[in-house]
Amino acid sequence: MDEKYLNLTEADEESMIQREFDALLQDYAATRHTQKTEIIKRAFDFAKSAHHGVRRRSGEPYIMHPLAVARIVVKEIGLGSTSICSALLHDVVEDTDYTVEDIEERFGPKIAQIVSGLTKISGGIFGEKASEQAENFRRLILTMPEDVRVILIKMADRLHNMRTLGSMPPAKQLKISGETQYIYAPLAARLGFFLIKTELENLSFKYEQPSVYAKIQEQVDAVTPRLEESYLRFIGPIKQILDSYNYKYTITYRVKSPYSIFRKMQNKHIPFDEVYDLLAVRIILKPRPDEDERANCWVTYSALTSLYKEHPDRTRNWLSTPKPNGYEALHVTLMNHEGNWVEVQIRTERMNEIAEHGLAAHWKYKTGTSELSNLDSWFKSLKDMLDTADYANAVEFMDTFRLNLYASEIYVFTPKGDIKKMPVKSTALDFAFALHSDIGLHCIGAKVDHKLVPLTYELKSGDQVEILTSKTQRPQPDWIDIVTMPRAKAHLRAVFRKEYRIVQEKGKKAVEDELAKLNMPLNNVTTTRIIEHYKFNTITEFYNAVGRGLVDLSDITTVMFQTKNPSKWTKMWKLQFGKKNESVETDPKKKKKVVLTDTNVGQGYTLAECCHPIPGDPVLGYLDEYGTVLVHKRECPVALKLKSNYGNRIVTAEWATHNVKSFLAMIEINGIDERGVLQKIVTVVSEDYAINIKSVHLEAKDGIFTAQFGVYVHSADDLNVLCANLRKVPFVNSVVRIS
């Protein structure tokens, strides 16, 4: 509990709540919305009464949370009275005895509908009943074109929860942060809320890797004064030339966020000192009513490129073809006087408002427009995709949804010259499905600009595509990897799942028949024994293999009656019949934290093969059904998925090793291919630091070498020291750790 709430009197609390509500009304009064304060006051009084006496984990009165969400809704998203009331009431049905009908009776059907939608997805995208939660979220997505305010208020709710995440236990912080980074930040980006997206990413990063976040923030703070001086020198000539055009404008700047810097360091394998594009400059034009705003942007672009050299591959034109979320701007990257690249964004005031606060906030509810926008089209395509097929589990559903969030567009032509908008990296097979699902299912090839291409051909803007079909063609299993569009994947999954079920039932029947000969039932105990022997991950995979004739069941008698050593099978047998195994703790609520020592590696915990964590790395644990904790680095993509989909099995993990055991780590070294450089590197590793080398892979081309070393170290600190000293070797350019 936060100490500042410990000694508050009831009068103090009332005063604090009233101040927050008054601030909400001030935020609302500053908008252009028609002022409907009476219904907002009624909603506040109702929510305050419903949550009376309830406190958040921090100790503050619960009503402070709905008030904070309502302020985000009006001030940062730009919604009106209906959304404010819905935000104030969003937890009433979930947390009190009031029903949706009670809300409708007091506040009308629209607010009740929004509150109902918010109640369905309470507790996050993935609750303990994952498949049920996914279905609720699916229903929510299907309602988005009718009332997008549900998802916008949910986004505000998540933002405030992230801002107050410090009061939650560590394992809960990791679950919520992972879920936020996995879906809410991309969703904010897709809906055009850049500021919210950036804040969600940074807050997630702060709680997932606090030490890394703090270090980068410290480095940013240290260089900010220098960046500000560079900014002033850079914009001086720009202001002079814009003033000569009699343009009205403002120029601002921003420094890359810690998370954005971290991602660049990871993707490029570079240290902080080599992130040169820390500064981004924004020019916001204020054209007169009689001026063409796009023309002003292009004139400004021309002026900038006459002053500074532009990067030939980093100019982005979102004026002619805005992003699906409505974003319009010109981006150009210029070389400043210090020899560093600076990204400049050129926008008008109208474009900037949409870029900062999102098109969805201005869509229909403020303008009353009925014309189909890019965002409408995205919602429609999303709905079509979700209507197409069922989903086996929550993870599959959310993966498909995320693919749709990240899609960017290209423009291709049909043989008749019609334009089709397609996601970047779409294949010829994707285009076939985009035309019609039957065309996709019977596609045998394609012609691009009258030349025959394979189904795997990646489309480019401007391609003219003709699809070739055959009635005898059937979808092939590898097609699921060829298509990139979620809708196409959904169609194929539906077809394959139907075929899979038929084969699976055939395999299951064969196993039942074999067990019947032994007078044994088909249940959890026997199936666990079988899949362990035949080395399959799941029983459904085993049934499928049997159904396809890939497994010989002739030795099943031996499988069921052989002598067994204690194993995972023994544990499962005991669990099935209620015999407690004292050595196995599988309840995450009881096992809150695991301490990683030299003695329990391989027993109490296992190090993940995907990211190879070593002592000192920020890590988390995933508790499997056998009581073993699988340890991942926190930034590991697999860990992100686990946090999002299985948050209730995430446990905190702490290193307590004593440099007794060595751990494998991989480093990559790049440099100039001079004679003797490899010998010097090996000397530093094996002699100066007495570190054992497991493997070396070396490639050299055009005078540049790349070497990958597998080395055994005691901790991340040891590895960092080794990397720092390898960078001092002559002709070595960079040394980075890789997974």
Contact present, 162 and 180 (Cβ < 8 Å): yes
Is 157 one of the catalytic residues?
A: no
Q: Where are the alpha helices (DSSP H) in 630-676?
A: 637-645
Those residues whose C-beta lies under 8 Å from the C-beta of residue 667, and which sit 6 or more positions away, are 708, 709, 711, 719, 722, 723, 726, 735, 736, 737, 738
Those residues whose C-beta lies under 8 Å from the C-beta of residue 54, and which sit 6 or more positions away, are 61, 62, 95
Is 356 one of the catalytic residues?
A: no
Per the residue annotation, which of 13, 95, 399, 624 is the catalytic one?
Answer: 95
> Angle, nearest 10°, between helix axes 194-208 and 349-357?
40
636 — phi, psi (to 5°)?
-65, 130
Helix, strand, coil % (nearest 5) of the chain? 50, 15, 35
Using alpha carbons, list the distances in angstroms from residue 573 to 82, 100, 171, 580.
56, 46, 30, 10
Contact present, 639 and 611 (Cβ < 8 Å): yes
Contact present, 441 and 495 (Cβ < 8 Å): yes
Spacing of C-alpha 209 from chain mean position: 16
Those residues whose C-beta lies under 8 Å from the C-beta of residue 64, and which sit 6 or more positions away, are 16, 17, 20, 56
515 — phi, psi (to 5°)?
-70, -35
Angle, CA of 479, 483 and 489, to the nearest 5°: 85
List the structure tokens of 709. Answer: 């070393």
Using alpha carbons, list the distances in angstroms from residue 130 to 171, 187, 220, 337, 585.
18, 20, 40, 54, 22
Per the residue annotation, which of 12, 94, 146, 625 is the catalytic one?
Answer: 94
Contact present, 317 and 262 (Cβ < 8 Å): no
Contact present, 318 and 329 (Cβ < 8 Å): yes
H or E stretch at 557: helix 556-561
What is the per-residue burial (b if ≥16 Cβ within 10 Å, else e) of 330-361? Answer: bbbbbebeeeebbbbbbbbeebbbbbbbbbbb
Question: Residue 311 has what DSSP assignment?
Answer: P
Nearest to 388 by CA among 440, 350, 342: 440
Just list the catalytic residues: 94-95
